[in-house]
Chains A and B, each alone.
Chain A
Amino acid sequence: MQDVIIIGGGPGGIAAAVRAAQLGAAVTIIEEAELGGVCLNRGCVPTKALLASAALLARVRRAGEYGITVGEPSFSLRAAMARKDSMIAELRAGTESLLASYGVKVVRGTAGLVGPRQVEVGGEIIEGRAVIVATGSTPAKPVVDGIDSKGVITTDEALALEEVPARLLILGGGPIGVEFAAMFHGFGSRVTLVEPGPQILPGEDHEVGQRVRQSLRDRGIDVLIKTAPTSIRQQEGEELVVSLAGRSGEVSADKVLTTGRAPCLVDLGLTKVGVRLAGGAIVVDDGMRTNVPGLFAIGDATGGQMLSHLASVQGLVAAENAMGRARRMDYRAVPRCLHTDPEVGCVGLTEAQAEEQGYQFKTSTIPFTLSARATTLGDLEGAVKIVAEARYGKILGVHIVGPQATELIGEAALAIQLEATAEDLAYAIRAHPTLAESQVEAARDILGQAIFLPKW
């Protein structure tokens, strides 16, 4: 009898396992592939490793700006992939020893529920006081004529390419699509990014969408919005021809990359034990409980925003609740980031969401062109935008496009979590010259006290 059984060894499952063990539970975690899940093996980590290569390559090409003369750099995808693979291997080993240090039992195999608290794996049935489903997500291709053509790949395969495709068409302008666009553009592909909605990075603040779209275009990436493929045809010689809705002409590509994802719930036995699903994802409450007592679900398996850090925190919450504590998820301060160049870091409400939720609010935008630090770095693209509630100045959302936005957003996330007001941020002192100053300045601007914005 185990206290907690976790199905899936991704970031959600691992966090849940460690926390449950910290609370004294006997924990078993079942993983059918590699520990670390999508995040470590086919998601966050490999993409960030490759984006680091792409960013450095771009930087090296700009070396002259900094007074450095280098020859034209040459890039090897194989070498970059090898670097990435060795990092994954290293982090995976770290994960294994982490779980071992907590005495978490790792069982290899595909698990399925046979009862609310009974899990079958490899012909054996394990019973637990609580079960946490953390099976994550897998790529999901859109339904389009010819989607199964050779050459239409998912992110899994894109992360294992041996050659840089000369022409890459990416379906989906969400964070994954944008990151891959930046990455392969950096590696030398001619990239076309196709987003069916009215803006890329759907759901993000419209200014963020615009800035990122502009920056992609400036780099030479074709960004097509409000369109989707109607058919994909395989020509001889592997070339793919994609027709797009509402557009005359076709786009040719060597590879078509799909970026959609769907919760991974097949053969899990969820319907057998009566778990409520909606839209192909497991329905949970704010304590990560499903409708079946003792059965929890976390991470990508529950749909919603598919983010690694969110899966982890949900794992902590599920573990605590499974161990008899009472902890609730707070979704107000979940950062959403892109490791592109410029980076993107967002947290909290967008302007549209603030309006939708009936807030009276103010916004302020401070471009990085006003930042001494951005200037010295030579990274002037982007801005910090704050959405604050008008009456009390409560910070509702912060949206950063620019250098180190993914790190800067941490401060904003804390501000939102602690319910800070514009004054709290505006009266803060940040070192000069740093990028963090821009966030303080944006808060000052909410109060009408920005000091580096010229008075018009």
Chain B
Amino acid sequence: MATKVVMPKLGMAMTDGVVVKWLKADGDQVEKGEHIAVVMSKKITYEVEAPAPGLMRYAAHLKEPKPVGEAIAFIAEPGEAVPGLAELAPVVAAKAVAPQLLEAQPPEAAPFIPATPAARRLAKEHGIDISQVKGTGPEGRIVEEDVARFIQERERAPREILISPMARKLAQEHGLDITQITGSGPGGRIVEEDVRKLIEAKKEVPPVMAPPPRVVPFIGMRQAIAERMMESLRTMAQVTVTTEADVTETVRLREELKEEFDLTYTDIVVKTVAIALKKHPLLNATLVGEEIHLLEEANIGVAVALEEGLIVPVVRGADKKGLSEIARETKRLAQGARENTLTVDEVTGGTFTVTNVGMYEMDTFTPIINPPEAAILGVGRIVEKPAVKKGQIVVCSIMHLSLTFDHRIVDGAPAADFLRTVKHTLEKPYRLLG
């Protein structure tokens, strides 16, 4: 009897695996204990040993998923005939399944498709999935003309749905999309019975009559933000770390300075960050092709929430500016943002962004980096909390800080280092005055 070499169970959750490499050829003489194949589960690789000496015959195709316990090879005794792979049933699906299994890639997020509002509207009217349309606008943006062309081509294309005349009429009357019906007739033809079943099935589950949604146009700033955010998440390896800072001293400092000029916590954080960036240049960087560019200026973007969306005016060279100057500038920029009078220069060229959600009573969150920057600092609210200091319970003001950084550019340790610098500065803010 030939000895079976089975797909090993390499972990509790492993249900199947693939042979990624044969270490012996089909028909080779193998010794007991010799490594004959490399198998791989979704998580790990493993070298399989021959359980017995003999002639090895493959029982699996490379990258063909095999359930745990099923034969991947046989080891035959001398003179024993074992069917080779050619005689085994061909595996049709092997190619299609294997790469997915091997790389265990997460499903691709639905990409954001740049398209003009007119193009979107036209596509929607014709029930077209916009991702199917090829854009010819700037940077591949889909313009109305592209959708119009797509519609034309679609109408010219041969209808590939096989459906009986009766089924078509029935589907039409019931407002059913025939592309969504599976046909049970010859060659997948949709027949009356298929449509009737669908109609019945729909009857069985009375649809919850949702009131029609209020429609907000997805245009302008909203759309621009969507594009930027999706681009950010799609292109960067974003990691968020959070910490708490005891900002009791910062609170005191602000109270003092407020007597002199209008100062917000955001202003203080902007200044703090600008200084910290000088010490941690990897966080004030951008990735250009195969180079990481460490930027000279610390231009800090400050997110301003408007009704239509978010805008991020930039405080240039914040490291070189004093607190009062920064305070004045953020005020002016916020005003400009609200009045829509900002120039392009005032909203571009940022190297790092600060976004404060403290006024919304939020603590930590995972801000999304404003590309092409390398990091963003989220500022939470300040709350008074009891803390133990030198054996005493005292009341401290605590601020939450959330730093999202691009792990492609900077690793966790230096990023944490940067955040610690920010934290320490906010805990002893008087050096900011220097």
- B166 close to chain A: CB less than 8 A: yes
Tell me whether chain B's interface is mostly helix, strand or loop, or mixed.
helix
- B164 contacts A420, CB within 8 Å? yes
**Which residues of chain B come closer than 8 Å to A424, judged between CB atoms?**
165
**Contact A392 B164, CB 8 Å, known A419-B191, A419-B192:** no
Tell yes or no: B170 within 8 A of A by CB: yes
B54–chain A nearest beta-carbon distance, Å = 32
Q: Could you give 23 example pairs across A and B, Cβ below 8 Å?
A: A392-B166, A392-B169, A392-B170, A392-B173, A393-B169, A394-B166, A394-B192, A418-B164, A418-B165, A419-B164, A419-B165, A419-B166, A419-B167, A419-B191, A419-B192, A420-B164, A420-B165, A420-B166, A421-B165, A421-B166, A421-B169, A423-B165, A424-B165
Chain B residues near A392: list those with CB within 8 A.
Answer: 166, 169-170, 173
Residues in chain A near residue B167, CB distance under 8 A: 419
Closest 6 CB pairs of A and B: A419-B164, A419-B166, A394-B166, A392-B169, A421-B165, A424-B165
Give residues 129-162 of B contacting A (CB, 8 Å).
none
Min CB–CB distance B79 → chain A (angstroms):
28
User: Which residues of A in the span 389-424 have a Cβ within 8 Å of any Cβ on B?
Assistant: 392-394, 418-421, 423-424
Which residue from chain B places its CB closest to the CB of A416 in the assembled complex?
B166
Contacts of A418 in B (CB 8 A): 164-165
The residue in chain B whose Cβ has the minimal distance to the Cβ of A422 is: B165
CA distance A419 to B183 in the complex (A): 13
Closest to A394 in B: B166
Interface residues on B, range: under 10
Give chain A residues whose Cβ lies under 8 Å from the Cβ of B166.
Answer: 392, 394, 419-421
How many angstroms between the C-alpha atoms of A418 and B173 in the bound complex?
Answer: 19
Q: How far is the CB of B105 from chain A (nearest CB, A)?
A: 35
B191: chain A residues within 8 A (beta carbon): 419
Residues from chain B with a CB closer than 8 A to the CB of A420 are: 164-166
Interface residues of B in 169-212 (CB under 8 A from A): 169-170, 173, 191-192
Chain A nearest CB from B410 CB (Å) reads: 59
Q: Mark B394-410, 1 if CB is under 8 A from A, else 0.
A: 00000000000000000
* Residue of B166, B167, B170, B191 with most partner-chain A CB within 10 A: B166
A420–B169 Cα distance when bound, in Å, is 10
- Interface flags for B268-306 (1: CB within 8 Å of A; 0: not) read 000000000000000000000000000000000000000
B191 to chain A, nearest CB (A): 6
A421→B170 CA distance, assembly (Å): 11
Bound state CA distance, A141 and B168, in angstroms? 49
Could you mark each residue 208-222 of chain A with 1 if its beta carbon is under 8 Å from any beta carbon of chain B, else 0? 000000000000000
Closest to A425 in B: B165
Pick the most buried of B165, B169, B170, B191: most chain A CB atoms within 10 A of its CB: B165
Q: Which residues of A contact B192 (CB under 8 A)?
A: 394, 419
- Bound-state CA distance A418–B170 (Å) is 14
Report the separation of the CA atoms of residues A423 and B172 in the bound assembly, to the nearest whole angstrom.
16
Cα distance A421–B166 in the bound complex, in angstroms: 6
- Given known contacts A418-B164, A419-B191, A421-B165, what 20 new A-B pairs fall within 8 Å (CB)? A392-B166, A392-B169, A392-B170, A392-B173, A393-B169, A394-B166, A394-B192, A418-B165, A419-B164, A419-B165, A419-B166, A419-B167, A419-B192, A420-B164, A420-B165, A420-B166, A421-B166, A421-B169, A423-B165, A424-B165
Per-position 1/0 for A411-444, Cβ under 8 A of B? 0000000111101100000000000000000000
Q: Which of A393, A418, A419 counts the most B-chain CB atoms under 10 A from its CB?
A: A419
B169 to A, closest residue via Cβ:
A392
Residues of A50-86 at the interface with B, using a CB-CB cut-off of 8 Å, are none
For A421, the chain B residues whose CB sits under 8 A away are 165-166, 169
* Most chain B CB neighbours (cut-off 10 Å) among A392, A420, A423: A392
In the bound complex, what is the Cα–Cα distance between A56 and B391 (angstroms)? 124
CB-CB under 8 A from A423, the residues of chain B are 165
Please report the C-alpha to C-alpha distance between residue A421 and residue B167 in the assembled complex, in whole angstroms. Answer: 10
| Chain B residues positioned under 8 Å from A393 (CB to CB) | 169
CA A419 – CA B167 in complex, angstroms? 8
Least CB distance from A140 to B in Å reads 36
Q: How far is the CA of A305 from the CA of B262 in the complex (A)?
A: 98
